[in-house]
Structure 1
Amino acid sequence: MTTRQILGQLEGLRARDLPTHGGRTLAYVYDSGVAEADELGRTALAMYGGTNGLDPTAFPSLLQMERDLVEFARPMFHGGDQMVGTVTSGGTESILLAVKTARDAADVDKPVIVVPDTIHAAFHKACHYFGVERVSVPVDPVSFRADPAAIGKALEQYGDRVVMVAVSAPSYAHGVLDPVRQVAELTRPAGVRLHVDACIGGWVLPWAEGLPPWDFAVEGVTSISADLHKYAYTPKGVSLLLYRDPGFRQAQFFASADWPGYTMLNSTVQSTKSGGPVAAAWAVVRYFGVDGYRRLAQDALAGTRAVGDGIASIDHLHVVASPDSTLVAIGVDDALDVFTLSDLMLDRGWFVQPQMSFKDFPATVHVSLSAATAPSVPEFLAALSGSVSAAVAVGPIQVDPGLRDAAAAIDPATLDDATFDALLQIAGLAEADGQVAAPPRMAAVNALLDIAPPAVREALLIAFLDRLSR
């Protein structure tokens, strides 16, 4: 095939995806609205796409760029002269490494991390991968913030087995900042690491006003994760994992000389890793600088406030928790459901993310506001108001009570492939011929998944992903 034909096919495939620019995709991607910065990032990505961060002596430019990114972050997060950091492939890898490092440094039997219910699911993944027990404690039912008293009880209960406590800045689901200082007052005297997950807030909160301290300014915070491919507006995927001092990072590294090849030495989960994302991040961060990021953060925060004010004037909607950053959770009353609302917003050109119910928390709609969205907030609110009216007109989705009872009775561990295939059809994720695909409208599927217990929901979606990728 010719280059033109291949690029034409790529353009055809890409046409089916959500847009990454324009500020209308309010999850997964983050848009500065600055075309020159986007082009710079893509150019740097291509320039360094063939380099390999496996060996910093072979590509010293990548090591220098990593040092520069950490140095840029130092004053942002009130890091001292001893602060060190590592560039990773994204927030999940940063969190995986933070948990793995805490586990290895502590070297205890049956290690435990204590987290609020609202902690990002990447911590669940880290515990699953690394054999660490996760103890999740309830959050305050009104503010949705971590409850220091509940964390304190868990610290007392699990004692020396606790290798880390983690909190959010802010939490993804509700956009609120956990009480970092109060939690640190519990972890510091106990000698327990305290990780602040600022993956989504790290490049916004330093320029937000009126917030309590949440970073290394709080004595007792030992590590912070902060993604650059979110509100630093760099190409995917780049994150920083920062430590208060080198002693906290030492157990992160891996080395093996016990084979006849080169001595493996890794700072991250990856061995071979493209230098492209690092170079792209370095270039974009230098382009915006502190003043640029201050402006972008203030634009995004202003847009978030405008969205919150607008929601207050739309019947049947409410903001679940007053956001501390750029994330808004939108609740609905009994006249409609969030899944239909999400579909109707997509029909109007806006992608919003439905969040399913959890324990006593009802389902919500999640939006992440970026700088590019701020000028379009009036259009967003008009689309939201129209979608609410349309959703109220059709009424909330009613799930058959029999399906609800059947879902509650399922034990995923006992199901075989044939039964999973049948369940995928019932859920609307497969056709009668067995072909698996997401339907154009997800409301009915999401409503059914929402009433399924978490373990059943997880099993169904894993089966769906497995068959989708076959």
Structure 2
Amino acid sequence: MALHTVSSSAEDTFTMPLSERTLAKHRIPDVESDPRAVYQAIRAELLLDGNSSQNLATFCTTWSEDEVRRLMAESLDKNMIDKDEYPQTAEMESRCVHILADLWHSPARRDTVGCSTTGSSEACMLGGLALKRRWRQRREAEGGPADRPNLVAGPVQVCWEKFARYFDVELRQVPLEAGATGLRPGQLRRYVDENTIGVVAILGVTFTCDYEPVAEIAKELDAIQADTGLDVPLHVDAASGGFVAPFLHPDLTWDFAIDRVSSINTSGHKYGLSPLGVGWVVWRAADLLPDDLVFNVDYLGGSMPTFALNFSRPGGEVIAQYYNLLRLGRDGYRRVHQACAETARYLAERIAAMPQFALLYDGDGALPAVCYTLRQEQPFTLYDLSEQLRMRGWQVPTYPLPADRQDTVVQRVLVRHGVGRDEIALLADDIEHALGRLSSGTTRAPRQPGFHH
């Protein structure tokens, strides 16, 4: 009788040698392993991560169309920096820059300059470097000292603190006034001087999700120049709002329509709806990016300019950004963000109906998000509530506001593309259930009757 052997391709990956031992953590293995077993082992570990759609703390895209995933997979070998070998990828980057310049009302839409980055944090640093270099050139031309630069901003994301520390700039963070959700124009005069390289206005404050009044801030800087002669440029950190305001708030004046705005950054992988790893910075005009910050390299097959804090990086995220711009257009982005905004307002209504909370931002007029705090002293804290929600998989951040409102602790929920009304309704239900347990002192969920077969 003939003996039949089982093909190795049908072998159970969980009975392969790799699955019978713990994975290497401190030393590379001596032998190779079957790729299927390695895939299954790593995939099993990754299941311990949270569900990204329930991460309501992140601004970052957690849902993408299948076509985006295919383009990303097909672009694994494309190096964004090598524009000679991948000229069409470089062309798509250039198209995105000019589309954003047009979206943000640049007076030099076809001739302006900008670039992609690994995210809005790198974009902020590049914008800050250009501000610092132009300030230094101006101070040297005036014969003044150029060794004590400062940057003025309200409650900013940590990337600006990194910029200040890494590049020897004093960060003058303006404290929050009572009842304010960001920088207010009347605060500027106490912080701006001849060493100020620029002022940063935030379109979508990380802590509260509200927009700072960019046009009013610019008017105050105009008045300061009229009174003192100080000509201070304005950079808009539109990491989140740069892809929201043009579609949901088209009548808002915040971008290059304001003469004083010299540069804008945004994050493509936030409300730009692209996968993680892409940001953008655009200058109002080409002469606002000092030439000595741009390097030319000629060892990748041709001479090419580069302005970035890193070098080799994948091109797939840029290609995905271009796909989204083509795929959605103005109407598509408006439809997506409008749906998110309506869901945020639904959550705000649910939160407002809970007597324990006071809304700080209700999702109307800025980012699709909700921010709230406890109305009065409760037998629990918002940190306790976050812990309760985490047991259901929700990641809802709790944190104090910046100075001078550090005594106010808030929670923030971001509504992104892929986070639907039903999901948010379940979150609101879970908040109500958690409040009931916390208010009664019963922090453990009641034991449910089980079914045994």
Fold similarity call, TM over 0.5? yes
AA matched with 2:352: A
- TM superposition shift of 1:264: 8.7
Partner Cα distance (2:219, 2:135) in 1: 20
Question: What is the correspondence of 1:36-185 to structure 2 with a 5 Å cutoff?
Answer: 37-80=64-107, 81=109, 82-107=111-136, 108-116=146-154, 118-155=155-192, 159-185=193-219
1:3 pairs with 35, 40, 50, which one? 35
Partner Cα distance (2:191, 2:243) in 1: 31
CA contact (8 A) 2:296 2:306 kept: no
Deviations 1:403-428 (CA, angstroms, capped at 9, x unpaired): xxxxxxxxxxxxxxxxxxxxxxxxxx
- TM superposition shift of 1:210: 7.9
Question: Larger % of helix: which?
Answer: 1
CA contact (8 A) 1:208 1:325 kept: no
Deviations 1:287-334 (CA, angstroms, capped at 9, x unpaired): 222221110010011111111111110121121234422232221132
AA matched with 2:371: A
CA contact (8 A) 2:84 2:302 kept: no
CA contact (8 A) 1:41 1:280 kept: yes
Partner Cα distance (2:382, 2:292) in 1: 41
CA contact (8 A) 1:171 1:177 kept: yes
Find the counterpart in structure 2 of residue 25 from structure 1: 55
TM-score (norm 1): 0.76
Partner Cα distance (2:164, 2:58) in 1: 23
Deviations 1:144-195 (CA, angstroms, capped at 9, x unpaired): 231212112211xxx2211110011110101111111121123354322211
CA contact (8 A) 2:344 2:362 kept: no
- TM superposition shift of 1:93: 0.4
| Pair 90,206 (structure 1): closer, same or farther in 2 beyond 3 Å | same
CA contact (8 A) 2:359 2:373 kept: yes
Partner Cα distance (1:285, 1:177) in 2: 23
Structure 1 SS opposite 2:313: coil
CA contact (8 A) 1:169 1:197 kept: yes
- TM superposition shift of 1:113: 0.4
Partner Cα distance (2:259, 2:214) in 1: 10
- TM superposition shift of 1:375: 1.8
Q: Percent identity?
A: 22
Find the counterpart in structure 1 of residue 386 from structure 2: 342
Question: What is the correspondence of 1:69-468 to structure 2 with a 5 Å cutoff?
Answer: 69-80=96-107, 81=109, 82-107=111-136, 108-116=146-154, 118-155=155-192, 159-188=193-222, 189=225, 190-209=230-249, 212-250=252-290, 253-255=293-295, 265-323=305-363, 324-332=366-374, 333-335=376-378, 336-359=380-403, 360-361=405-406, 362-376=408-422, 377-394=424-441
CA contact (8 A) 1:228 1:234 kept: yes
How many equivalent residue pairs?
386
Partner Cα distance (1:27, 1:40) in 2: 26
Partner Cα distance (1:266, 1:129) in 2: 20
Partner Cα distance (1:275, 1:50) in 2: 8
| Pair 88,7 (structure 1): closer, same or farther in 2 beyond 3 Å | same
CA contact (8 A) 2:383 2:398 kept: yes
Partner Cα distance (2:435, 2:411) in 1: 12
Deviations 1:27-49 (CA, angstroms, capped at 9, x unpaired): 2254576xxx4322222222222
Partner Cα distance (2:318, 2:298) in 1: 30
Q: Is structure 2 residue 45 aligned with structure 1 residue 13? A: yes
Structure 1 SS opposite 2:151: strand
Structure 1 SS opposite 2:44: helix
**Aligned Cα root-mean-square deviation (Å):** 2.5
Structure 1 SS opposite 2:204: coil
Note the residue ranges of structure 2 that are not aligned, 5 or more in a row.
1-32, 137-145, 444-453
- TM superposition shift of 1:368: 0.9
Partner Cα distance (1:339, 1:171) in 2: 21
| Pair 85,340 (structure 1): closer, same or farther in 2 beyond 3 Å | same
Structure 1 SS opposite 2:280: strand
Deviations 1:236-284 (CA, angstroms, capped at 9, x unpaired): 111111111111123583427899x998952111111221221222223
- TM superposition shift of 1:58: 2.5
CA contact (8 A) 1:32 1:296 kept: no
AA matched with 2:429: A
CA contact (8 A) 1:101 1:251 kept: no
Structure 1 SS opposite 2:106: coil
AA matched with 2:310: Q
Structure 1 SS opposite 2:217: helix
AA matched with 1:96: M
Structure 2 SS opposite 1:166: strand
Q: Which shows bigger deviation, 315-324 or 160-169?
A: 315-324
Partner Cα distance (2:170, 2:298) in 1: 30
Partner Cα distance (1:380, 1:262) in 2: 54
Q: Which shows bigger deviation, 376-385 or 245-254?
A: 245-254
TM-score (norm 2): 0.79
CA contact (8 A) 2:283 2:289 kept: yes
Find the counterpart in structure 2 of residue 457 from structure 1: none
